[in-house]
């Protein structure tokens, strides 16, 4: 795949379904009574991993592209898998399903690819162990493969040291299997899809400021869920529409949940021409069409409470910053180091190779924008968000931008390059 500078970028698109909601729809449907139907499901590798895990535990799941039907068996209806549950590359699958598996009567083992085997799981092992769960890092390194289950759980109040929806969701899902009320308090609020969706399935779950609480042993019932477009996927086209010449894009049906939509606030802070149209609520989530067009961007500081709302978008925000006048400083984002790649290092390396003045810091980066970018061979480190972010950088770079492996985009956006090509 080779990307070259575009002269204009115009059109109307939809992006794949929200990955976070797709994962949760399968999981919650599996442990509910009755049928759950998902439309707009993200048919990507990560979400297929979630389907595969629940099929291995006896759940009948029918999938035809973006339409998925889950025949749930209730809170205690899962059966012991005959082999290791393969989570692939999916950190969301690993951490959320661990909460469910920790409450089962049987012991199961989770494992994934080389990337998953490096990602920190101590952040869920600690609270689950406090709940009385048996959960073990088989290699005793705080990472997958993980073995868990076969013990009773106790409700706890967990003060999470990190603002992580995956950690919060893991503990709340384990709380489904505990007697009493399980609560999680975060330092900063993280995305709240678990709270919104579990409430729709019938759980008694509440949120107050930085604390989410759930009452154990509920009766959950299957739901019909229309999955909106993923703002993390829309982010690449938001950035493209702002930094490319003669650009005018409409991205339809995007999830604009404020716990996820930090990129919209950053785009505005940088002087971007961005507006939300046709705002509405779909299956409990705020949704809108996003209109962007060519803008003169300027640098800004990105730090503090907004970071959890845009953590996955920071690589493409860094590309926006490279195209902007002045300095952009990203702080409080050390979480970037423990994603599919160390995204502080991978973003810095690739932007430097394209001619950007960028410095990595312990918790982010400093980007002095406005210098022309030139094409190079992008090192993706098999990280889908790195590949897609630098495809956008290639749209404004002189020469050719190529990739050592762009196939990793299948994780979250299988048709990314086709969509990009159709606009230019």
Number of helical H runs and strand E runs in the chain: 12, 25
Dihedral sign (CA 223, 229, 233, 235)? negative
Following DSSP, what letter does each residue of 40-97 receive, concatenated?
S---SHHHHHHHHHHHHTT-EEEEETTEEEEEEE-TT-----SS-EE-TT-HHHHHHH
pLDDT at residue 424 in the model: 82
Please state the pTM of the whole predicted model. 0.93
Q: Is position 289 annotated as part of the catalytic site?
A: no
Q: Around Cβ 284, how many Cβ atoms within 10 Å?
A: 16
- Averaged in consecutive runs of 10 residues, what is the pLDDT profile of the chain (424 residues)? 96 97 98 98 96 98 97 98 97 98 98 95 98 98 97 97 96 97 96 97 97 98 98 98 98 97 98 98 96 98 96 98 98 95 98 98 97 97 97 98 94 94 90
Domains plus CATH for the chain? 2-16+228-423 (3.65.10.10), 19-226 (3.65.10.10)
Q: Which of 18, 289, 312, 383 is catalytic?
A: 312
Where does 354-383 have alpha helices with state H? none
pLDDT value of position 4 = 97
pLDDT of residue 382: 94
pLDDT of 345 reads 98
Q: How far is residue 74 from each of residues 31, 58, 191, 201, 388, measured CA to CA in Å?
A: 4, 12, 25, 11, 38
Nearest to 343 by CA among 319, 376, 325: 319
- Position 85 scores a pLDDT of 98
């Amino acid at each position: 795949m080779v990307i070259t500078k575009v002269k204009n970028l115009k059109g109307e698109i939809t992006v794949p379904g929200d990955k976070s909601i797709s994962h949760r729809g399968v999981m919650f449907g599996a442990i509910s009574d009755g049928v759950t139907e998902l439309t707009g499901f993200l048919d990507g590798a990560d979400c297929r991993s979630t389907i595969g895990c629940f099929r291995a535990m006896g759940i009948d799941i029918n999938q035809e592209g973006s339409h998925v039907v889950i025949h749930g068996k209730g809170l205690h209806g899962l059966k012991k898998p005959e082999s290791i549950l393969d989570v692939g590359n999916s950190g969301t699958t690993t951490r959320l399903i661990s909460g469910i598996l920790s409450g089962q009567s049987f012991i199961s083992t989770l494992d994934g690819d080389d990337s998953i085997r490096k990602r920190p799981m101590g952040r869920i092992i600690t609270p689950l162990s406090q709940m009385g769960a048996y959960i073990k890092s088989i290699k005793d390194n705080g990472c997958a493969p993980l073995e868990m289950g076969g013990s009773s759980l106790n409700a706890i109040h967990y003060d999470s040291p990190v603002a992580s929806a995956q950690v919060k969701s893991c503990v709340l899902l384990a709380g489904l299997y505990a007697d009493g009320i399980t609560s999680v308090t975060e330092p900063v609020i993280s995305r709240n899809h678990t709270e919104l969706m579990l409430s729709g399935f019938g759980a008694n779950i509440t949120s107050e400021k930085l604390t989410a609480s759930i009452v154990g042993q509920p009766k959950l019932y299957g739901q019909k869920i229309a999955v909106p477009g993923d703002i993390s996927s829309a982010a690449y086209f938001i950035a493209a529409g702002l930094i490319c010449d003669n650009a005018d894009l409409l991205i339809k049906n995007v999830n604009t949940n404020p716990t996820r939509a930090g990129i919209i606030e950053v785009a505005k802070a940088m002087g971007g021409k961005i507006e939300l149209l046709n705002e509405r609520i779909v299956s409990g989530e705020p949704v809108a069409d996003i209109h962007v067009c060519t803008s003169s961007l300027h640098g800004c500081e990105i730090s503090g409470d907004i970071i959890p709302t845009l953590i996955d978008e920071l690589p493409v925000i860094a590309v926006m910053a490279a195209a902007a006048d002045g300095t952009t400083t990203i702080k409080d984002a050390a979480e970037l180091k423990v994603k599919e790649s160390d995204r502080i290092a991978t973003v810095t390396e690739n932007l430097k190779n394209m001619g950007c003045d960028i410095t990595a810091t312990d918790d982010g980066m400093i980007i002095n924008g406005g210098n022309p970018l030139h094409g190079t061979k992008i090192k993706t480190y098999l990280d889908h968000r790195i590949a897609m972010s630098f495809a956008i950088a290639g749209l404004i770079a002189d020469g050719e931008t190529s990739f050592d492996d762009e196939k990793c985009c299948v994780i979250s956006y299988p048709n990314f390059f086709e969509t990009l090509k159709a606009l230019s």
